[in-house]
Amino acid sequence: MKAKFYDVKAKKSVETEVTEAVAYPNNRFAFKGLTKDKRNLTCFVSKAAYDAFTGKKTAPKKCGAKKCAK
């Protein structure tokens, strides 16, 4: 699957193949990719895009604090 990333060094948007999908503990999701010269790229995506790429649904995590309980 291809995704759009922003290449900071080239200062432009590039489209490249997604190498992995990452789920961070604070309920943020990202795609990782590589440029043609092997530099790392990261693009934060929505939960729906992450689920579509991985093919599974992720359960929302609870923080355990009283103020976060909804």
CB within 8 Å of 69: residues ≥ 6 apart? 62
Q: Mind listing the pLDDT tens digit for each residue in 23-38? A: 999 999 999 999 999 9
> Is residue 70 scored above 60 in pLDDT?
no
* CA–CA separation, 24 and 20 (whole Å): 13
What global pTM score does this model have?
Answer: 0.74
Q: Mind listing the pLDDT tens digit for each residue in 51-64? A: 999 987 655 555 55
pLDDT of residue 68: 55
pLDDT of residue 12: 96
* CA–CA separation, 62 and 42 (whole Å): 25
